């Protein structure tokens, strides 16, 4: 599917704006390798190894239809295709791997882009392509601040609009699941949106369940205030950099 395909704005944000998907950070199916985070000298079959540090994490792109389970080999809690409702590649944030005796991942514990916010599940490693992610986003709601880090070092600090008291930005640990470009960079969402795997805690009837994003704005005078429906609005120049640097799979930590 073309990375420039036009699609409807996932509207956590709002209906009626068309977007194009940015290419998802991914590994080709033939390039998949066991992550280096898993020891290479032999493992206890079925042992679980964490795959996320402050400097390095992993994303997983769906290669085929993926079934997410509450536990390895347990009941299915959600099914995913290779692309999401916006036509963007389905990507998960990887937390851990359950390995075999040769230390190759058999099951992956991943973050899921579904309600309730912060949901996790287990997927078969053979159904996804792993790729390294060296970026991380830290959001400080009290300071109205978004910080993008690469290999543990800040490379962008942006002041943003956050959710109003009646429509708060959800706190928790999420990940970037899609990047989208608007057709009108001067519109209410600016040049684009960095979608994350969180949902509004109150706007459940909104399209697609009220997903949360960091997006641009046509009202920069509101930057620094708590007046949004839950999304974070940044200056358009900052959003352009986030769209370029915050690849799919980037961990997002939102704190008060």
The pTM (predicted TM-score) of the whole model is 0.86
Domain boundary among 133, 150, 178: 133
The residues assigned a catalytic role are 215, 231
* Dihedral angle computed from the Cα positions of residues 26, 27, 29 and 32, in that order, rounded to the nearest 10 degrees: -130
Full DSSP string of 3-67: TT-EEE--SSS-TT-EEEEPPPP---GGG----TTS-SS---TT-EEE---SS-EEEEEESS-EE
Same domain, residue pair 241 and 188:
yes
CB within 8 Å of 82: residues ≥ 6 apart: 62, 63, 64, 65, 89, 90
Q: What is the C-alpha to C-alpha distance for residues 214 and 130, in angstroms, rounded to an integer?
A: 25
150 and 190 share a domain?
yes
- For residue 4, what are the contacts with CB-CB under 8 A and spacing of at least 6? 20, 21
Assess whether 87 and 160 both reside in one domain: no
Per-residue confidence in pLDDT tens, the chain, 256 aa:
333 333 233 333 232 234 456 656 544 333 444 444 454 568 999 999 999 999 999 999 999 999 999 999 999 999 999 999 999 999 999 999 999 999 999 999 999 999 999 999 999 999 999 999 999 999 999 999 999 999 999 999 999 999 999 999 999 999 999 999 999 999 999 999 999 999 999 998 786 889 999 999 999 999 999 999 999 999 999 999 999 999 999 999 999 9
Residues 120, 224, single domain; the answer is: no
Do the domain assignments include residue 1? no
CATH number for 94: 2.30.30
**Residues 98 and 159 reside in one and the same domain:** no
Both 128 and 141 in one domain: the answer is no
Q: What is d(CA 213, CA 219) in angstroms, rounded to the nearest whole number?
A: 17
CATH code at position 170: 2.40.440.10
**Would residue 247 count as lying in a domain?**
yes
Contacts of 18 (CB under 8 A, 6+ apart): 6, 7, 8, 9, 182, 183
Do 248 and 140 lie in a common domain? yes
- Residues 163, 94: one domain? no
What residue numbers bound the domain in which 114 lies? 29-133
189 and 154 belong to one structural domain: yes
Instruction: Return d(Cα 53, Cα 58) in angstroms, integer.
Output: 10
Q: Specify whether 140 is located in the same domain as 251.
A: yes
Same domain, residue pair 168 and 240: yes
Query: Could you tell me if 9 and 18 are in contact, meaning their C-beta atoms sit under 8 angstroms apart?
Result: yes
**Quick check: is 222 in a domain?**
yes
User: What's the total number of domains in the chain?
Assistant: 2
What backbone phi and psi angles, to 5 degrees, belong to 7?
Answer: -150, 170
């Amino acid at each position: 599917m073309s990375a420039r395909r036009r699609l409807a704005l996932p509207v956590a944000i709002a209906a009626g704006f068309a977007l194009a998907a940015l290419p998802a950070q991914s590994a080709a199916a033939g390039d998949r390798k066991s992550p280096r985070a898993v020891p290479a000298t032999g493992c206890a079959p079925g042992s679980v190894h964490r795959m996320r540090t402050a400097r390095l994490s992993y994303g997983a792109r769906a290669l085929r239809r993926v079934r997410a389970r509450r536990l390895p080999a347990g009941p299915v809690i959600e099914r995913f295709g290779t692309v999401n409702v916006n036509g963007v590649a389905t990507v998960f944030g990887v937390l851990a791997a359950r390995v075999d005796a040769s230390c190759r991942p058999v099951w992956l514990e991943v973050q899921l882009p579904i309600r309730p916010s912060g949901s996790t599940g287990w997927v078969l490693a053979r159904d996804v392509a792993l790729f390294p992610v060296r970026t991380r986003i830290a959001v400080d709601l009290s300071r109205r601040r978004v910080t993008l880090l690469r290999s543990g070092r800040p490379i962008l600090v942006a002041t943003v609009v956050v959710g109003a008291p009646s429509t708060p930005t959800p706190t928790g640990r999420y990940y970037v699941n899609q990047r989208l470009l608007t057709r009108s960079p001067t519109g209410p969402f600016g040049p684009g949106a960095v979608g994350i795997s969180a949902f509004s805690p109150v706007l459940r009837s909104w399209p697609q369940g009220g997903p949360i994003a960091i997006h641009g704005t046509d009202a920069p005078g509101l930057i620094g205030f708590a007046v949004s429906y839950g999304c974070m609005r940044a200056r358009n120049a900052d959003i352009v950099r986030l769209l370029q640097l915050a690849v799919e799979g980037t961990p997002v930590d939102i704190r008060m």
